[in-house]
Structure 1
């Protein structure tokens, strides 16, 4: 195994032409240079220099090593520069897989914060609902997954995954603006038992059925869709009403619909998930901190 320090000294000896000149340029003693060159020759198994008068001449092996040394040392310098940039957060790539409303709110706000102090960090956005987002994290498709869960509907995650709580997102009932209950600040869920409903993703739909059961009724679900904009459009035409997270309404709000809190309050828990070993990667930790900051500013909204 070649020692990079010995290789660098060898490169300098070749450049300046003697052990003594290399010692002066590198700040070593001449015996130290001699010992390093002997160690390098032992490592390669053949002599690298021959004496010609008071000077040095490269052997055939020395000439071959000299040609490679410049390339190897150049690659090492480039690697050190890149690794220094990654450690110093001057560059880095972080892949974030989030559910749609988080990709439209939390992630862009976090990126905006990063651009101020760390413009070299690059964030790639992927989209998926939990639990598939966790599966993508485990497969190595992403570095951070954003997911959500509901009280009583918790999904276990593997031991190698760390969950970082971000915020609680209040669920609201989406009503047409002319609906009799739209004038209230909050609406008891049981008073909506006779309504037609539009349900969302499988996890949200499971929670919806659960909270309705807690209020002793089974909702009449007439439409299901994962498209939040489609849900609002269906509400505006009177097709039904919907239970929707407040995070969605912060960026999608049709002029003919209104959101009202339901009683009892129902919240979904939004979290970031990351592999335990990746918490030590500077760029991943930085993006995670930015997500925590923007979520804390929205928590409970």
Structure 2
């Protein structure tokens, strides 16, 4: 296997034309250069130089090696610089997997922060809901996963993962603006027992049905969709009402909708996950810090802002 030090010496011998000149340029003794050239010739298995009096000439093998050595050394230099840059947080690629509402809020704010503070860190975004997103982390398809879990649900108990809590995301009732309860400050879930419902992703739907059961009724689910904008449009169209996370309403809000806090209060916890070994990689640690910073810059969804056009009761 070719090593970098004798290759650098070989390149200098070719450039300067002699062992002694290469030794002077590199700060070595002439015997040290000679020894390294003999070692290099043993490694490649053929002579690289011939001598004619005081002059040195490259053999055919030496000419081939000389044509390639500059690009090899340039590649090594570039690799060393890039590794050093990653070590010093100057650069790095981080693959982040997140669910859609986190992509549009937390990740977007984190990328903005990184561009301002660590422009060499490049974020590649994938989208997936848990538990698929966590499996992608285990499979090596991403470096950081943003996932959510609901009250009483333990998302990660397996070894090898680090969990970094980011925020608690309160669930709210989403109603048409002309709904009889649209002017209420807060709504008891059981008060909506007779409504038709628009249900969300499978995990959200399961938690919603359990919450309804705890409130004493079984919901009539008229429509199911993973699309947050479609869910809001269906509510406006009168297909049913919905329960959505406040985080969604931070970037989506139909002008003919209102959102109201629910009793009993239900939250989903949003966390970042990574393999424990990854926390030692500077670019990963910096991205996790950026995600935590991003959460602090997000304004909580101002549930009920549409009701400011009319008095609130209840």
> TM > 0.5 between the two?
yes
Specify whether residues 83 and 284 from structure 1 end up closer, same or farther in structure 2 by C-alpha distance, changes over 3 A only. same
Q: How many residues align?
A: 301
Q: How does 1:117-132 map to 2 (within 5 A)?
A: 117-132=117-132
Distance 1:236 1:177 in 2: 8
Distance 1:24 1:156 in 2: 61
| Structure 1 contact 137–145 (Cα < 8 Å) conserved | yes
Partner of 1:289: 289
| Structure 2 contact 250–300 (Cα < 8 Å) conserved | no
Partner of 1:27: 27
Is there any run of 5+ residues in structure 1 with no aligned partner, and where? none
Are positions 1:185 and 2:185 aligned together? yes
Instruction: Give 1:158 shift.
Output: 4.6
Distance 2:299 2:138 in 1: 28
What are the superposed Cα offsets for residues 76-133 of structure 1, whole Å, 9 maximum, x if unpaired? 1232233344334444332222111111111111111111122333322222211111
Partner of 1:7: 7
Q: Determine helix, strand or coil for the equivalent of 1:74.
A: helix
Are positions 1:86 and 2:93 aligned together? no
| Structure 1 contact 168–299 (Cα < 8 Å) conserved | no
Q: Determine helix, strand or coil for the equivalent of 1:141.
A: coil
Distance 1:136 1:184 in 2: 42
Q: Determine helix, strand or coil for the equivalent of 2:31.
A: helix
Distance 1:257 1:61 in 2: 77
Specify whether residues 233 and 4 from structure 1 end up closer, same or farther in structure 2 by C-alpha distance, changes over 3 A only. same
Are positions 1:216 and 2:216 aligned together? yes
What are the superposed Cα offsets for residues 278-301 of structure 1, whole Å, 9 maximum, x if unpaired? 333333332222112112444976
Partner of 2:277: 277
| Structure 1 contact 86–283 (Cα < 8 Å) conserved | yes
Question: CA RMSD, aligned part only?
Answer: 2.3
Partner of 2:263: 263
Give the TM-score of the pair, scaled to structure 1.
Answer: 0.90
Is there any run of 5+ residues in structure 2 with no aligned partner, and where? 302-314
Distance 2:67 2:52 in 1: 21
Instruction: Give 1:9 shift.
Output: 0.7
| Structure 1 contact 166–296 (Cα < 8 Å) conserved | no
| Structure 2 contact 105–298 (Cα < 8 Å) conserved | no
Give the TM-score of the pair, scaled to structure 2.
Answer: 0.86
Instruction: Give 1:251 shift.
Output: 0.9
Are positions 1:39 and 2:39 aligned together? yes
What are the superposed Cα offsets for residues 54-79 of structure 1, whole Å, 9 maximum, x if unpaired? 33333333333323322321221232
